[in-house]
A = this chain, B = another copy of it.
Amino acid sequence: MTAQRSAAADRAAIADLLARYCRGVDRLDLELVRSCYHADGVDHHTGFDGTVDEYVAWLAPALRRLAGTQHLVSTQLIEPAGDEAVAETYGQAVHWGDPPEDPRRNFTSGFRYLDHLQYRGGRWAIRERWAVREWTRSEAGMFVAKEADGPSGRRDADDPLWSLRSRVLGTG
């Protein structure tokens, strides 16, 4: 973030930021989610409109009702202009929970994040986000158990990501 500025570096920093948002939501790391917005950030979501603090307060119990989420982002166009930028990021958010037949806990949504980003205080962060919902697919009864044992994800400090980062990168 404090690296030298260039259009390429700005775009890379913004792409990273938008991926960290997904990591924060999916790992239930709400401070990581909050850190993706400036302190005066604003979010417009399906069923929500407000400040970043209000958004995190709304998001936390909504995520905890579910067993897990995965926010897969794909098509992305980032357009920086000085200390401002617009980013459009497509994605699919997969949600799962119990019971597996409950369509309100088992669904995939297609979205476009439309972000107004600003470079302030030495970092890029979201000033305002519109999470545009494109489509919603019920996954009621569609998720099945995996066919064998293997690495599993968690939403707490025991997810294997954190121990890997700690070991290799010396993080927290």
Q: Which residues of chain A have a CB within 8 Å of any CB of chain B?
A: 3, 7-9, 11-12, 16, 19-20, 22-23, 44-48, 68, 70-77, 79, 81, 84-86, 88, 90-92, 94, 96, 103-104, 107, 109-110, 112, 114, 116, 130-139, 142-153, 160-161, 164-165, 168-170
Contacts and interface: CB of A to CB of B under 8 A. Distances in A.
Nearest to A3: B7
B138 A153 contact: no
Contacts of A12: 8, 11
A19 B77 contact: yes
Main SS class of interface, A: strand
Nearest to A71: B75
Given A45-B150, A47-B148, A132-B160, A75 B72 contact: yes
A69 B59 CA distance: 28
Nearest to A108: B137
A68 B134 contact: yes
A137 to B, nearest CB: 5
